[in-house]
């Protein structure tokens, strides 16, 4: 009934609906595609409401969510596919990436694979970091931490900061300065909690030089 009410709203329904997409995905996933099909394209690069809602729905029913994403108009199709594949990749990264590579032209396959890597990074940082270079960097000028590497590192650091840092220290040079900004938020949190302790631990484990861009 609430979804019916949203669909019948007049001016301003788009913003209110975007804010409700996760709740729709949780409580009425069969209506998600119908609702998103009417939404305009997000205005901002960081608006991932469609992606996040489809990821939530896909975690419970991957096949149905894939079908719903593929049936969407171009406006929100790529972001819906990205969210669906992001959830899929947590359990089968290689299968998800292979499926994405077979998608037709006109779909941003690289961006969807980035989402797959982010999904895998949230459960297995090392596996995602190993494959981060499999798609172009994709960073946007003047957009903080928007490269492929940065976005994968951000999710990896949230999942397991210590193992992510250990992987970076063992693979020097694999990520550039812009990529390393993806771990800056996690580094900041730890610096704020204990500056001396954090820096000393990085000296002891040999990761200080690797983390210098993020610390800066």
The stretch 69-85 carries a mean pLDDT of 97
Taking CA atoms, 74 is separated from 5, 18, 42, 156, 178, in Å, by: 25, 17, 12, 30, 30
Per-residue pLDDT at 213: 93
Per-residue pLDDT at 45: 87
Terminal-to-terminal C-alpha distance of the chain? 51
Percentage, residues of the chain above pLDDT 90:
88
Eight-class DSSP state of 82: H
Q: What gap in Å lies between CA 175 and CA 139, rounded to an integer?
A: 13
Percentage, residues of the chain above pLDDT 70:
100
Q: What gap in Å lies between CA 185 and CA 190, rounded to an integer?
A: 9
The stretch 117-131 carries a mean pLDDT of 97
Per-residue pLDDT at 90: 98
Per-residue pLDDT at 7: 86
How many residues belong to the chain?
Answer: 216
**pLDDT of residue 81 exceeding 90:** yes
Per-residue pLDDT at 203: 95
Buried b (16+ CB within 10 A) or exposed e, 117-127: bbbbbbbbbbe
Per-residue pLDDT at 93: 97
Taking CA atoms, 182 is separated from 13, 161, 187, 200, in Å, by: 33, 12, 10, 22
Q: Is residue 113 within 8 Å of residue 103, measured between CB atoms?
A: no
For residue 6, name the pLDDT band (cuts at 50, 70, 90).
Answer: confident
For residue 149, name the pLDDT band (cuts at 50, 70, 90).
Answer: very high
The residue among 121 and 46 whose pLDDT is bigger is 121
Q: Which two tokens stand for residue 200?
A: 């000393």
**pLDDT of residue 170 exceeding 90:** yes
Per-residue pLDDT at 11: 80
What is the pTM (predicted TM-score) of this model?
0.93
Q: Which of 100-104, 129-133, 139-143 has the lowest mean pLDDT?
A: 139-143
Angle at 103 between CA 98 and CA 106, to 5 degrees: 140
């Amino acid at each position: 009934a609430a979804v019916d009410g949203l669909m019948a709203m007049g001016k301003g329904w788009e913003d209110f609906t975007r804010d409700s997409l996760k709740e729709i995905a949780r409580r009425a996933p069969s209506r998600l595609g119908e609702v998103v099909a009417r939404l305009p394209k997000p205005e901002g690069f960081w608006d991932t409401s469609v992606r996040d809602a489809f990821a939530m729905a896909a975690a419970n029913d991957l096949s149905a969510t894939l079908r719903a994403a593929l049936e969407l108009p171009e406006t929100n199709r790529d972001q819906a596919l990205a969210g669906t594949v992001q959830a899929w990749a947590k359990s089968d990264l290689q299968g998800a990436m292979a499926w994405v590579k077979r998608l037709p032209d006109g779909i941003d396959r690289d961006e969807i694979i980035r989402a797959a890597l982010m999904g895998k990074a949230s459960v297995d940082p090392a596996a995602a970091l190993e494959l981060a270079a499999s798609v172009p960097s994709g960073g946007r000028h003047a957009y903080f931490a928007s490269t492929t590497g940065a976005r994968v590192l951000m999710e990896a650091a949230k999942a397991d900061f210590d193992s992510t840092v250990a992987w970076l220290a063992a693979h020097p040079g694999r990520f550039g300065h812009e990529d390393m900004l993806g771990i800056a938020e996690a580094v900041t949190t730890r610096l704020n909690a204990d500056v001396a302790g954090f820096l000393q631990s990085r000296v002891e484990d040999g990761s200080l030089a690797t983390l210098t861009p993020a610390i800066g």
